[in-house]
Structure 1
């Protein structure tokens, strides 16, 4: 029997892998390691803790930390003598044309939704296993509830998060699950998946806020390319004499997300 001939494409791939391994950027990798570590940290970390967790010496990280601070990617916390991540990376991401375009299209519709419903609303994206609020419009009512821009929570713990997760392809869902912090146990993950499937079937989520007992979070997806690009959420504040019921506000919300999604399609076709 003749020996199997080698595949030249495989040989080429091996050569390319070798090239990839030869081209290293140690300084860049150290900087990225610091940013990723601080992104996952709940409290500011001093240089010694950063060095210990990255298994590097303080001397080799000192200059890198100083440069990252100078460029505005991390900041020094005076009270704890530690370093924390700033929102500069987030701001850079928001400058991407598709992201900026979505927010610009959403804001006028969000203002109309607030005017019609009497409730505030906010727009949230996915970021590293969390939902992050990128825009908000506050209600003009004397009493209301709103969420600040930059607010972050784990995907499984918010209405915005479950909506973002619910309207993703299966492989995207699994990738996001790997980013959840804290990790969900087997039973909790199964329950979360079931909840997400129910949200997908109903096209909207109504659930009591995990933070405020008098608030019902109402959330719906803004679809783009068959997946949720963002979640639009109304924190519905229960009042003695409500202007609208939560169910009516949910209908307004779904109409708003449908309008934004349609505008996105038109905008993308022009690009």
Structure 2
């Protein structure tokens, strides 16, 4: 963790120091957004200033401007700010992501009906996964993950699929992004991802929801895994679909979607 009295700098800060053109005000705003994106808890202006090594007066107007433009919002029932979904909305409006969602949602809807489970798709965003689309269980009960949900990539079933089904050069870049998790955690993650690639999918008990088995398969485009299609499998009584049946149908859906992605050069 950064010292609160040390200004937070990106990994390429030396190169940044040599740039010919700089935009200090813009960069302060980006620092605030990146900090809030990495924090699981709301942060007050004072906390933001301390973490960035700046004064409160220096950031006060910047925080107000970001709130006015809708990029950050006051936390409900708590002090401080959190990110809104505005950046996420801008991201999914990009043509490639929009096309992915348009192609995936009908397939996901059919899969949810077949297996009586919810499903979602997630993409890699730095060292995290972010859910960009979901279909809920068509039945009366179910477990689903909200759109915009983020989780450390190294701790997610989707992360195993997103890393495991990449080219070696892409994996090397991703390992650099995940290095902060520590050597032991990263080594375990890589081993699990290699096993997932060998069998073609991920099947693992959820590490934060008892009774849920995470099933995940890659959506492979022209340059490796574009996204991961994931089913948080919940066992019902009476059982409507076994986990083995769900894995089979999930993999078939992912394979079909992968073909469509390559046809669209994604």
Q: TM-score range by the shorter chain?
A: 0.7 to 0.9
Deviations 1:160-179 (CA, angstroms, capped at 9, x unpaired) = 11111111233333333343
Task: Give 1:241 deviation, angstroms.
Answer: 2.9
Deviates more, 1:219-228 or 1:183-192: 183-192
Deviations 1:211-265 (CA, angstroms, capped at 9, x unpaired) = 2222211110001113111100111111333222211111111111111111122
The structure-2 alpha-carbon separation of the partners of 1:97 and 1:23, relative to structure 1 and needing over 3 Å to count, comes to same
SS in structure 1 opposite 2:138? coil
SS in structure 2 opposite 1:44? coil
CA RMSD, 1 decimal: 2.2
Task: Give 1:189 deviation, angstroms.
Answer: 1.8
CA distance in 1, matches of 2:77, 2:233: 36
TM-score normalized by the length of structure 1: 0.86
Contact 2:113 2:137 in 1 (8 A): yes
Counterparts of 1:122-133 in structure 2, within 5 Å, are 122-133=120-131
In structure 2, the residue matched to 1:245 is: 242
Give the number of the structure whose alpha-carbon radius of gyration is greater.
1
Whether 1:226 and 2:223 are equivalent positions in the alignment is yes
Contact 2:178 2:186 in 1 (8 A): no
CA distance in 2, matches of 1:144, 1:58: 45
SS in structure 2 opposite 1:131? strand
The structure-2 alpha-carbon separation of the partners of 1:78 and 1:249, relative to structure 1 and needing over 3 Å to count, comes to closer
CA distance in 1, matches of 2:81, 2:177: 22
Task: Give 1:49 deviation, angstroms.
Answer: 1.7
Q: Mark the runs of 5 or more structure 2 residues left unpaired by the alignment.
A: 1-14
Q: Mark the runs of 5 or more structure 1 residues left unpaired by the alignment.
A: 1-16
Deviates more, 1:88-97 or 1:22-31: 22-31
Deviates more, 1:41-50 or 1:91-100: 41-50
Contact 1:129 1:177 in 2 (8 A): no
Deviations 1:28-84 (CA, angstroms, capped at 9, x unpaired) = 111111111111122222112222222222222111111111111111236433122
1:158 to 140, 146, 156: 156
CA distance in 2, matches of 1:159, 1:223: 16
Counterparts of 1:161-240 in structure 2, within 5 Å, are 161-180=159-178, 183-240=180-237
Deviations 1:120-176 (CA, angstroms, capped at 9, x unpaired) = 111111112111111111112233222221222111222111111111233333333
Contact 2:204 2:213 in 1 (8 A): yes
Whether 1:260 and 2:257 are equivalent positions in the alignment is yes
Deviates more, 1:235-244 or 1:89-98: 235-244
In structure 2, the residue matched to 1:28 is: 26
Whether 1:111 and 2:109 are equivalent positions in the alignment is yes
Q: How many residues get paired?
A: 252
CA distance in 1, matches of 2:116, 2:78: 41
SS in structure 2 opposite 1:179? helix
